[in-house]
Structure 1
Amino acid sequence: MKGPLSSLKILDFSTLLPGPFASLLLADMGAEVLRVESPTRMDLVRLLPPHDGGQSTSHAYLNRNKRSIALDLKRPEAVEIVGRLVKEYDIVLEQFRPGVMERLGLGYEALKAINPRLIYLSITGYGQTGPYRDRAGHDINYLALSGIASYTGRRDSGPLPLGVQLADIAGGSLHGVMGLLAAVIHRQATGEGQQVDVSMTDCAFALHGMAGAGYLGAGVEPDMENQALNGGSFYDYYRTRDGRWFSVGSLEPQFMEPFCAAICRPELAAKGLSPNAEDQRALKRAIEIEFEKRDFAEWQALFAGLDACVEPMLPLSEAVEHPQIRARGLVQEVPREGQAPQRQIACPIKFSAGLPPPRHAGGALGSHTMEVLRELGLDEAAIAALKSARVVG
């Protein structure tokens, strides 16, 4: 079993989260991914706690099923090695600021001259054009500039620093994979490669699925707690007597009615669809009062068999053991060299033909350098010379 993307060979120059998460998905689906890493400037995710067996758990997960070659890209010999690799690895993924790969002699035009079928995915904070193209940024900045943070939070406490890196993953990683695979389909039809420009800010901006449409089409500015789905209605989280939380998403009447009956307030169901802000505030307060009357376990037992779009908010330690997560096989054992297997999140995409089992967790920097150089046809003397000159690590 090879996976649906087993025909793809990808050179991954990215670090941190957006690019590596994208190439993780590709590798899980069978693509051959070779990370090109600096032997002197380590990917900081390798240092990120917590650690298991002396290795960052984040790095071991994000770099599952990938090989690593350590090359000093400032050396012409390393650039020559990349040129040889591009003849086989006809997809490049990079995450530098615009212009960096060009200065290294590894920009799209330079590598396209070696392999005209090359697909070259560039993931950046602000894209290859525009006044912010050279500006530094992180996930929180992209969410702020794109407008998402302006209506994600509470009026009395302000915007929320999200626990999940939304712009990095939903923006850079997932849109990057979509763009790359679209370019692959185009190449299959035409024989032409191309560069794919993915900006995390662009993609975050595109996530305004409903609020953005409302503002651009009708001039309605979204704000914190003034939308039906951002805390402006009863669609929200509610604290139990013992300090835990439940999510209530009973928007439709067929869910609202059994929910209100379950909390012994059937008369509240009629207010669920009211567009009036005061009605929604009153409804929320009534629901808050009811949830504060019982402990988490009591509510959990009550709603377990009720189809009302009400679910407990679980810490990650409980989420990984939830029967739905377990039934979907979302936690798997991944082999590690010289160590016991490590539990990791599995690929979330299911195929009727199946996926290959995980091959290995992310390994040491440059752990496949010698293997890759031999595959390129370099003899031991040439490899020794490259090591001596510190071109490879």
Structure 2
Amino acid sequence: MLLADLGAEVVRVESPSRDDLVRNMQPQIDGQSAAFRYLNRGKQSITLDLKHPDAVTVIHSLLDEFDIVIEQFRPGVMDRLGLGYEALKQIKPGLIYCSITGYGQTGSHAERAGHDLNFLALSGCASHMGRAAHGPAPLGVQVADVAAGSHPAVIGILSAVIQRDRCGDGAHIDISMADNSMALQALLAPGALNGGAEESYETHFLNGGGFYDYYQTKDQRYIAVGSLEPQFKQRLLETLEATELACLDDMTLKIRLQAIFISEELAVWQARFAEVDACVEPVLSMQEAAEHELFHSRNMILESAQGERQIAPAIRFDNQIPVMPESAPLRGQDTEAVMARTGLKQEELESFRQAGLFG
């Protein structure tokens, strides 16, 4: 999706017989889930049975038109299908081939299954994301899949494109979501690896070990206080009419701040801090965030003529206002058009169709 948002032509290769589970989530829009339509916007879709003996011929023909392959199977699967990097680079030496897996192409866990929760657990992230009284907290954001999977993959692919333009060489990019989850810990991990204390829940200023935290309000909502720097802390306390608390240690201050914030509803605090530059903001629901003036002013929510709303591409060039990307494809809807662009003869394509290669 990120590459498609940036202008790449992306073809999604789908199984003819097994549907993507995300496609069937709720709510549905025109037969596909809202989440699927977001994640697959701007792409084309073809169906292809990769286990069919003729699938290799089709993929080879597609390499005349496409020069980047992204795959997410466990290590060795693409090799067994005859579609591994070493095989395909013989057909296209400048091929950029990106493998995204949980644990990488090598190492002790290469063959092991995993999900976002597992990658955060093994990488050390989950050991300090949560509360002391309850332990690690499952997040509603796929940190490992997105921040440690998709984003490094895009960076690697675009770097490989630059290398190929300069040197003519392709590349096999190995993205491990567990590796990249470990690499996300820029402030906590270096200290622990070099003789410092091993951080746990609510021991570091980033994870609730100070007054940098969320505070409950009278109406059971929450407000985020990030007033770390002295000038922001001063404005926070001035706005709360509590400057006498400036001399307290962080944890004692945190207790006193909670007692203050619980005394009024969120709307009161929003109004009081609206014009105060103190790094204090309300915790909003997704719907509230979509209506917030910040994201309106940034054109971050797009709406189609049919009323579908999506998050806009977050990377901007030259202050251009984003437009709604093309809709996500139905499964296999572009098979005929994409196949027509290959060098395969019509009788070959017809033979493949009859053999059930495309479903």
Q: TM-score, normalised by structure 1?
A: 0.88
Partner of 1:5: none
- Equivalent residue for 1:297, pick from 256, 267, 271: 267
What is the identity percentage for the equivalent residue pairs of Structure 1 and Structure 2?
50
- Structure 1 distance, partners of 2:321, 2:172, is 28
Give the AA of the match of 2:221.
Answer: R
1:246-305 deviation line (CA, Å, top 9, x unaligned): 00000111101111111121111233xxxxxxx322111100110111111111100000
Deviation >6 Å, runs of 4+: none
Give the AA of the match of 1:80.
Answer: T
Corresponding residue pairs, total: 359
Contiguous gaps of at least 5 residues in structure 2: none
- Equivalent residue for 1:286, pick from 215, 233, 256: 256
Aligned pairs for 1:245-260 (under 5 A) are: 245-260=222-237
- The question of 1:232 aligning with 2:179 is answered no
Alpha carbons of structure 1 residues 182 and 391: separation in structure 2 relative to 1, 3 Å: same
- The question of 1:312 aligning with 2:282 is answered yes
Partner of 1:371: 337
Indicate the RMSD between aligned Cα atoms, in angstroms.
1.5
Deviation at 1:309, TM superposition (A): 0.4
Give the AA of the match of 1:249.
Answer: G
Deviation at 1:168, TM superposition (A): 0.6
Partner of 1:345: 311
Give the AA of the match of 1:44.
Answer: L
Partner of 2:25: 48
SS at match of 1:69: strand
Alpha carbons of structure 1 residues 151 and 76: separation in structure 2 relative to 1, 3 Å: same
Kept in 2, the 8 Å contact 1:78–1:392? The answer is no
- Equivalent residue for 1:386, pick from 348, 352, 356: 352
Give the AA of the match of 1:109.
Answer: E
Partner of 2:110: 133
Give the AA of the match of 1:390.
Answer: G
Alpha carbons of structure 1 residues 25 and 355: separation in structure 2 relative to 1, 3 Å: farther
SS at match of 2:277: coil
Kept in 1, the 8 Å contact 2:219–2:265? The answer is yes
Deviation at 1:378, TM superposition (A): 4.4
Q: TM-score, normalised by structure 2?
A: 0.97
- Equivalent residue for 1:61, pick from 38, 53, 57: 38
1:97-151 deviation line (CA, Å, top 9, x unaligned): 0000001100001110000000000000000000100000000000000000001
- Equivalent residue for 2:295, pick from 300, 307, 325: 325
Kept in 2, the 8 Å contact 1:332–1:344? The answer is yes
- The question of 1:268 aligning with 2:245 is answered yes
- Structure 2 distance, partners of 1:207, 1:334, is 35
Deviation at 1:42, TM superposition (A): 1.7
- Equivalent residue for 2:80, pick from 103, 109, 129: 103
Kept in 2, the 8 Å contact 1:334–1:361? The answer is no
Deviation at 1:377, TM superposition (A): 4.5
1:159-196 deviation line (CA, Å, top 9, x unaligned): 00011000110001001111111111111110000100
- The question of 1:154 aligning with 2:131 is answered yes
Deviation at 1:354, TM superposition (A): 3.8
Kept in 1, the 8 Å contact 2:12–2:46? The answer is yes
Kept in 2, the 8 Å contact 1:33–1:66? The answer is yes
Alpha carbons of structure 1 residues 356 and 284: separation in structure 2 relative to 1, 3 Å: closer
Deviation at 1:55, TM superposition (A): 1.4
1:64-104 deviation line (CA, Å, top 9, x unaligned): 00000100011122221111111221110001000000011
Kept in 2, the 8 Å contact 1:30–1:356? The answer is no
1:171-224 deviation line (CA, Å, top 9, x unaligned): 010011111111111111100001000100000000110100111123220110
- Equivalent residue for 2:6, pick from 18, 29, 36: 29
Deviation at 1:40, TM superposition (A): 1.1
Deviation at 1:341, TM superposition (A): 5.1
SS at match of 1:61: helix
Alpha carbons of structure 1 residues 301 and 47: separation in structure 2 relative to 1, 3 Å: same
SS at match of 1:36: strand
Partner of 1:17: none
SS at match of 2:210: coil
1:334-370 deviation line (CA, Å, top 9, x unaligned): 47xxxx2521111100101748744422121100000
Kept in 2, the 8 Å contact 1:253–1:269? The answer is no
1:22-67 deviation line (CA, Å, top 9, x unaligned): xx01001100001111101222211122212321111111000000
Kept in 2, the 8 Å contact 1:248–1:310? The answer is yes
